[in-house]
Amino acid sequence: MAGSGGRRGGRGHRGRGRGRGRRGRGRQAGAASPSRSPSSSSEEATSFEFILRIDDDPLGIKRLPDKFAEFVDGVEPAELQLREACCNFCRWRVEVLFDGQGKMYLHTGWDKFARYLDLEPGCLLTFLYEGNGDMVVKVFDGTSCRRHYHIRRPTRHPEADSFAVYVAGDDRPGTMHLREASSGFYRWIVDVIYDARGKMYLHIGWEKFARRHSLEAGFILLFSYFGDRA
C-alpha cells in the first residue's frame, strides 16, 4: 500500500507551457492541495501534482492552486489538455484563464470534461501536470474510492476500489505494509482490526507512520492497495 498526502513544500521548478493564457476575471475558488511529483530529475522539471475538491457547481469554472500558478509563471499555457487516467488517448482541451493577480482558472471546455466524467459535489480530483500543457486526472467519489471509467462512457456507479472487493471473508489481512510513494524500500507494518459490522481500521503501528510523515489534521492521503504484493 502506498499513500501520498498534500505537503507544504516549496515552489517547484517551472514547467513548459504553450504561450500566454487568457486574462480575465475569475469567479470561483477550488479547494486544492498541491505537491510536487517525487519522480526522476528529468520529470521533476515539468511535473506538478495537486488535488481539487468539487464543493460547488461541477460545471462551473475552477480555480487552480496558487502554487501551480506560480509553477507556470512566465510561461502560462493558453490551454490545458486534460486526460482521465483510464484513457490514454481521449483528451479535452480546456481554456485557461488568468485574472491578472496570479489566480489561475479552468474555463471554457471544463464543463464538457466535467459532464463526461459525471462529476458531482463531493468528488475529489487529483491532477498530474506532465508539462507541455498535458494534465492527467483521477476521480475519487464520495466514498473516497477511485472511479474507473469505460473509454466511451463513464458510469455513475463504477467499480470502486473498495477494500471489501479485495479483502472480504477469510482473506482479510491482519496487517498492512504501508509505503510512502516516493520511498521504494522502507515499509511500516500496521495492524488491522475489524469491528462487528466489518469496518476496517488501521491500528497499532499507524501512529509511528503518521509521526514519521508529520501528518496533520486536514491532510488528505491517497492509498493504493496491491493485495498480496505488500
Q: What is the residue whose three cell numbers read 499507524?
A: 206
Task: Give residue-wise pLDDT tens across range 187-208.
Answer: 777 787 777 777 777 777 778 7
164 CB neighbour count, 10 Å cutoff: 12
| Start-to-end Cα distance in the chain | 7
The CATH number, out of the four listed (3.40.50.11030, 3.40.50.300, 2.50.20.10, 2.40.330.10), of the domain defined by the range 10-140:
2.40.330.10
Length of the chain: 230
Report the percentage of the chain scoring pLDDT > 70: 64
pLDDT at 117 over 50: yes
Q: Which three cell numbers stand for residue 17?
A: 507551457
Nearest CA-CA partner of 68 in 120, 3, 6: 6
CA atoms of 203 and 219, how far apart (whole Å)? 18
pLDDT tens readout for residues 131-160: 989 999 999 988 888 888 865 444 444 443
How much is the pLDDT for 140?
92
The dihedral region occupied by 172, where left means phi > 0, alpha psi between -120 and 50, and beta the remainder, is beta
| pLDDT exceeds 60 at position 19 | no
For the chain, give the mean pLDDT: 73
110: left (phi over 0), alpha (psi -120 to 50) or beta: alpha
Question: Closest Cα to residue 155, out of 223, 91, 84?
Answer: 84
24-38, 60-74, 144-158 — most confident range: 60-74
* Nearest residue to 48 via CA among 109, 101, 104: 104
| All structural domains of the chain with their residue ranges | 10-140, 163-224
The band of 33, judged by pLDDT with boundaries at 50, 70 and 90, is very low
